[in-house]
């Protein structure tokens, strides 16, 4: 897949505004400020495809990008940002949850977690939700450029131990990642390629 071809499609405040539930969507999820929009820009080699926040909590819509016909990338609003009102938080959380649980064409989630503290509450909830709903999930330990080798290994171990005790490793994978340095971009592309081509295989049958 040529990720450079990604084009902004639309921003949806509510699920009803989303395009027809057909094809394959891969959603980038994670705490506010984890680096979702930066990762999308790095992946697509476009500086300003997705907006990168100076202040956390910037991405408030479900932003969709078209790669090819029926193949989309999705930038989800970040969760867990403390400074937004509870009402807004509840709203986002519900929209996010509804999207994750009802969207048929959602094939997989790229979950971004800060490599410096990889298994916070919300992230564990997301991982467990993916397991429960049988979704594919690939976790990016982001901002790896801020860690030395020992810290990177510690971060991977923490996450690996957590995933191991879930005992459902089949659809779960993870890697270190840095949008800033481009670390792990090829691995991410390979994972996405495998997900999008699963749709081609289905379609051919």
Ligand X SMILES: Nc1nc2c(ncn2[C@@H]2O[C@H](COP(=O)(O)OP(=O)(O)OP(=O)(O)O)[C@@H](O)[C@H]2O)c(=O)[nH]1
Binding site for ligand X (CB under 6 A): 30, 32-38, 52-53, 56-59, 78, 142-143, 145-146, 178-180
The entry of ligand X, Mg ion, none near residue 136 (CB within 5 to 8 angstroms by kind) is: none
**Which one, 23 or 78, has the nearer CB to ligand X?**
78
DSSP notation for 35-90: SHHHHHHHHHT-TTSSPPPSSSS---SEEEEEEETTEEEEEPPPB--TTS-HHHHH
Contact call for residue 155 and Mg ion (CB under 5 A): no
For Mg ion, the binding residues in 7-36 under the rule CB under 5 A are 36
For Mg ion, the binding residues in 35-74 under the rule CB under 5 A are 36-37, 59
Pairing relationship of beta strands 7-12 and 62-68 according to DSSP bridges:
antiparallel
Q: Give least dist CB 41 to ligand X, A.
A: 8
**Which one, 147 or 198, has the nearer CB to ligand X?**
147
Residue nearest to ligand X (CB): 78
Distance separating alpha carbons of residues 198 and 158, to the nearest angstrom: 30
**Which one, 26 or 172, has the nearer CB to Mg ion?**
26
Q: Give least dist CB 114 to ligand X, A.
A: 9
Q: What does DSSP assign to residue 18?
A: S
The tokens for 88 are 């807004």
Q: Count of CB atoms within 10 A of residue 58's CB?
A: 16
**Which one, 23 or 35, has the nearer CB to Mg ion?**
35
The tokens for 112 are 């971004």
């Amino acid at each position: 897949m040529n990720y450079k071809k990604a084009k902004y499609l639309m921003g949806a405040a509510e699920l009803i505004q989303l395009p027809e539930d057909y094809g394959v969507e891969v959603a980038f999820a994670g705490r506010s400020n984890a680096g979702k929009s930066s990762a999308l820009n790095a992946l697509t080699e476009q500086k300003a495809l997705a907006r990168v926040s100076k202040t956390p909590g910037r991405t408030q819509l479900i932003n969709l990008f078209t790669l090819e016909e029926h193949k989309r990338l999705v930038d989800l609003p970040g969760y867990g940002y403390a400074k937004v009102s509870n009402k807004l938080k509840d709203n986002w959380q519900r929209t996010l949850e509804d999207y994750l649980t009802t969207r048929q064409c959602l094939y997989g989630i790229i979950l971004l977690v800060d490599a410096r503290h990889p298994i916070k509450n919300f992230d564990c909830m997301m991982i467990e939700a993916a397991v429960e709903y049988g979704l594919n999930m690939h976790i990016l330990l982001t901002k790896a450029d801020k860690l030395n080798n020992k810290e990177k290994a510690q971060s991977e171990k923490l996450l690996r131990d957590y995933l191991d005790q879930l005992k459902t490793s089949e659809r779960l994978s993870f890697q270190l990642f840095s949008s800033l340095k481009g670390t792990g971009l090829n691995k991410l592309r390979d994972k996405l390629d495998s997900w999008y081509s699963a749709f081609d295989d289905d379609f051919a049958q």
